[in-house]
Structure 1
Amino acid sequence: MSANDSEIEKGFEFIEAHSINGIQTEFVVHKFMNKILLIITQFGKIGNFYSVNNQVFSDDNMISASNTKIFNIKHLFGPESIETEGAIRYLMNFIASERQEILVCFAVKNNDNLSKEFLDRVKDILLKIPIFMK
């Protein structure tokens, strides 16, 4: 069986589970032609979906050559919360592509536990996934 057969058999390019704060957190990623699907769930199923587009603007009038990332985050379905959108916005700073929309499912058991420590653990895991490696 080749690597491609294995990929077809499991359906997604990346599936992995990690224990974060004692709760199993599953990560599923798949790259389509023009989109990336990212599922982060502690329920073993999807709970919501957000569409994230990243637009990078550079201001030639600014002294520094830094770029400003502007995210267009659109809630598609499922439970919606400011905390979840904030968590997605934080994570996108590290993984968002300038050219591809990312469909994000972010379903955690308690939105009150979306601490910087938790989000940094999630970020570290995401940055080890080949699709998001820079």
Structure 2
Amino acid sequence: MPYTIVRSTQFFEFLGGIADSSAIGNVIRISPGLFQPIASDDVAAFVADAALAAPKNGIVEIAGPERGPFNEIVARYLKAAGDPREVVRDPDARYFGGKVDDRSLVPLGDARLGRIGFDEWFRRSREGA
């Protein structure tokens, strides 16, 4: 059976939940492993493209346009949201139970990159709130 699997990095929309899941009081422990979140609007566009195109009989990797340390991206989100909690860089911090390194949360090969960066996504998310 012909198929295409669209494999995505984590969505920007989950940054608040990620922070909450890693919090102990006002401290959030996050790995410095690389992270490349994507806007759900970009995911929807890539999935629509895949659905309308000929099957790849394989995987299409997608990711956001910006890559950086996981802890720094979460800290950036909290600062933009006005959340005063402290993000602590912790190489031993777990992400929903799993250890994170520089290859865990980013595409491992060629990937199609979304067009919506953090600043634009955050602005849009506040306008729609």
Same fold (TM over 0.5): no
Q: TM-score range by the shorter chain?
A: under 0.3
The structure in which a higher percent of residues are strand is: 1
Higher relative contact order (CA 8 A, sep 6+): 2
> Which of the pair is proportionally richer in helix?
2
**TM-score when normalising by structure 2:** 0.26
The TM-score, its normalising length taken from structure 1, stands at 0.25
